[in-house]
Structure 1
């Protein structure tokens, strides 16, 4: 057991106004299975890179172990996988084959080119390579990318057998399976929780509820202070006018002591300023109180229900490429107005191909029948690298409600300064938000989404859950995250191999 110590860690990128980490202090145990969570752009991958000593920083990181990062970069994917891996790090073949077997992988995959492997196979092989280095401490960044439901289970079962790592993932179910501690990167600090993601969510909610209650109390007091200060200031002002008025009134018998009135006004003004000062202190306290509350606004959707009860019907559908074996067993399902249907199944079985077929873009052979209305369809693609240009030009090209488009981007957590960038200059997470916000802003009767959660953080996922349960659109979705599918009450259709 070794401790990892972080003392007064301060770091921020040059273009950022605020620090990502400001005098952060933390002590971690190397035996923990630590989940690292936080919103996109909050600094999860940056935190791992700081542990790897890739960036200069202020403060001190005491890391007695040698960290190793996942996923490593493959220099030449055309090479045989075994030789591609040797270019990354030295390993014993028998150790790698042992780890591959634990991950339900055929060791013969090592003798194929790396680029010929599926995304899930590549992920598993790189994880197996990671754990051949038994003396190193693993820093695992998004291991569920490209993994189907079964693949995620294999990786979760595998990591349960290991001791000590830090893992970043947006898959809540996966984190609950493989972690015993959670480190949350929040707006102003790092907060450590003993327990998995579900424990973090529960304790975070309790903290937020307490802070909101405190905030409500302080707002009430600040309002009272403002009113009192205004009243005292007004009284002082009126007395000051009296001071410079007439010293006597004919026939009234009244004599004004301007000195006494002025002194009293001065005392009142001083009290007023004291109250205002106290009020300002309370305002500062209030702002500090709410610094770790996440602002997650509800998204909007340009959904227009169809007049048709049934928008899509598939009967005994089979698809194949170039006359090869059918991708899946005969498939039948329907999509009715106001329902959500989720297509599930292992990688490579043809889920995306079904979406391409429905949209008229499947290049292979098809058998069976399909009936579809002429509904307005909005499509979230799995690959959207061709999105480019300014957000304004992009919105005009795609006939979007520009205001709704920008509002949803902001609610998804995109910073306003990014709005000036061209889409091709954005990060993959930001580009995914553009693709999703495009779909939400399009007027549609039927939504077809292909793996919408890729690159989205947990807060974005919850935003989508709330939106879909509120709007109840007609949606056909391909997604591996069962927690999400269950949350949105999706009717799940599992594709199976033909026997």
Structure 2
């Protein structure tokens, strides 16, 4: 078995004041199906880049294998699939066809334009190319984005049955649980390796966190006690200092020692006590910082007199001569959460855009939105640029409130000074979510809100919806999330 060995790895971006990896050590067997997890901004994708020697670092990364990264960068989208694949790398066409069959993709897709495929179909094409290459070790970064529920099950089974190992980044708990046999967690202060799937990791982490929390509570009590002791000794030292000064004044004419000798001795003792106490307090407080806490989010939900906010009756969309889905009827009532489901390419995002006047596709049937309601949208694509101050001004939201929500979502303060275009995809998605939560709204429309968000953020949104029950229309493929919020599902079915 070949191993990937990391020794004393030290790395941090110049634009940040913190190290992502501080003398990290790790051994990875290349036969493992390793799930790489951790909060956004902790360095998951960065670690994959370090393995590929794309960044300068201190320490050693010892490997006897070459890596291949997913998603591969596609520059010429207007080519047919087979032409695009040939541009990417050398491969055996029969091998790609075999992988496509395993991914439930029809062979004639090779002759279609890559740009005309749905996001899920493009993902499967690139995965097929990844595993057609038997000579390199796969690094798979967020493969579930844009995959519908059925496609996620197909891809999960595809990866689970592979004989070769890989490293996989994903925030979909059910998906990663079904695929991996080891979990590597990048936590606040360290990297931890667990044997087993995601569920096994969660159980082990909960036990460790419970123990850590007990230690935290004990340490917090000790910090309080130390600070109280320090205050008492500081008060004593000051009283002795005052007494010493008074005594010196009385004995000034008969003492051979300088007037301030006693005072200086008392000050030195007080300073020594302060130094010792500060050291003990910092040691105890350091212990308390090892757990990720999930804070409660707020939402600016403004319920009004409308009982029905969206009413759709026998609606169907057509692009060119192609009807996207069979006529659909549904209603979104106050405090309901309705999820639009369906396979990739069936027209879920097109439906939302048509309801809110963002699309000019042809349609039959009706879709009515209640009058004079405010709507807050989470967009699937995010192309903002500039500083967070600029972003707040453009969207007419309070800058300090934006920073407050970003902190609750787990964004480090050091990131606030970065330009948005320089942030990770997960950090950008947090900004989009924060904006949507701050805008006063009667109706929320979320198009794949969980893409690029970590597990903690997903839990926060689940909790938020359970507490506030905002009126919500969403597109999402995370089965665990939809079940958790109790969403009503509307299935779009393609025309035969």
Instruction: Please tell me whether the aligned partners of residues 229 and 272 of structure 1 are also in contact (alpha carbons under 8 angstroms).
Output: no
Classify 1:214/1:417 alpha carbon distance in 2 versus 1 (closer, same or farther; 3 Å): closer
Classify 1:238/1:137 alpha carbon distance in 2 versus 1 (closer, same or farther; 3 Å): same
Using the size of structure 2 for normalisation, the TM-score is 0.90
What does 1:362-373 correspond to in 2, within 5 Å?
362-373=359-370
User: 1:277 Cα deviation (Å)?
Assistant: 4.4
User: 1:59 Cα deviation (Å)?
Assistant: 1.6
Task: State the match for 2:355 in structure 1.
Answer: 358
What does 1:193-272 correspond to in 2, within 5 Å?
193-245=194-246
DSSP 3-state at the match of 2:480: helix
Instruction: Please tell me whether the aligned partners of residues 236 and 266 of structure 1 are also in contact (alpha carbons under 8 angstroms).
Output: no
Matches of 1:373 and 1:325 in 2, distance apart? Answer: 29
Matches of 2:375 and 2:76 in 1, distance apart? Answer: 40
- Worse-superposed segment, 349-358 or 395-404: 395-404
- Worse-superposed segment, 140-149 or 67-76: 67-76
Task: State the match for 1:290 in structure 2.
Answer: 288
Task: State the match for 1:192 in structure 2.
Answer: 193
User: 1:424 Cα deviation (Å)?
Assistant: 4.8
Matches of 2:338 and 2:256 in 1, distance apart? Answer: 82
1:441 to 438, 450, 454: 438
Matches of 1:263 and 1:135 in 2, distance apart? Answer: 78
Deviations 1:254-304 (A, max 9, x none): xxx999xx9999998887666544433332222331343224332221111
User: 1:219 Cα deviation (Å)?
Assistant: 1.9
Instruction: Please tell me whether the aligned partners of residues 147 and 347 of structure 1 are also in contact (alpha carbons under 8 angstroms).
Output: yes
User: 1:417 Cα deviation (Å)?
Assistant: 4.6
Task: State the match for 1:307 in structure 2.
Answer: 305
Instruction: Please tell me whether the aligned partners of residues 218 and 282 of structure 1 are also in contact (alpha carbons under 8 angstroms).
Output: no
DSSP 3-state at the match of 2:493: coil
Task: State the match for 1:72 in structure 2.
Answer: 72
Pair 1:280 & 2:281 matched: no
User: 1:23 Cα deviation (Å)?
Assistant: 1.1
Deviations 1:172-208 (A, max 9, x none): 1110010011001112221001122222222223222
Instruction: Please tell me whether the aligned partners of residues 78 and 114 of structure 2 are also in contact (alpha carbons under 8 angstroms).
Output: yes
DSSP 3-state at the match of 1:312: strand
User: 1:16 Cα deviation (Å)?
Assistant: 2.3
- Worse-superposed segment, 426-435 or 331-340: 426-435
Query: What RMSD over aligned residues (CA atoms) do the two structures have, in Å?
Result: 2.8
Classify 1:265/1:229 alpha carbon distance in 2 versus 1 (closer, same or farther; 3 Å): farther
1:456 to 453, 457, 464: 453
Instruction: Please tell me whether the aligned partners of residues 232 and 269 of structure 1 are also in contact (alpha carbons under 8 angstroms).
Output: no
User: 1:421 Cα deviation (Å)?
Assistant: 4.9
| Residue ranges of structure 2 left out of the alignment (5+ in a row) | none
Matches of 1:314 and 1:287 in 2, distance apart? Answer: 56
Task: State the match for 1:167 in structure 2.
Answer: 168
Pair 1:468 & 2:465 matched: yes
- Worse-superposed segment, 51-60 or 190-199: 51-60
Instruction: Please tell me whether the aligned partners of residues 233 and 273 of structure 2 are also in contact (alpha carbons under 8 angstroms).
Output: no
Task: State the match for 1:254 in structure 2.
Answer: none
Deviations 1:302-326 (A, max 9, x none): 111122222222222222224x343
Task: State the match for 1:326 in structure 2.
Answer: 323
Classify 1:378/1:276 alpha carbon distance in 2 versus 1 (closer, same or farther; 3 Å): same
Deviations 1:45-97 (A, max 9, x none): 11111111222222222212222222222242222322322232221111111
User: 1:367 Cα deviation (Å)?
Assistant: 2.4
Pair 1:132 & 2:132 matched: yes
Instruction: Please tell me whether the aligned partners of residues 232 and 268 of structure 1 are also in contact (alpha carbons under 8 angstroms).
Output: no
Aligned length: 489
- Worse-superposed segment, 218-227 or 23-32: 218-227
- Worse-superposed segment, 313-322 or 343-352: 313-322
DSSP 3-state at the match of 1:87: helix
DSSP 3-state at the match of 1:367: strand
Instruction: Please tell me whether the aligned partners of residues 244 and 262 of structure 2 are also in contact (alpha carbons under 8 angstroms).
Output: no
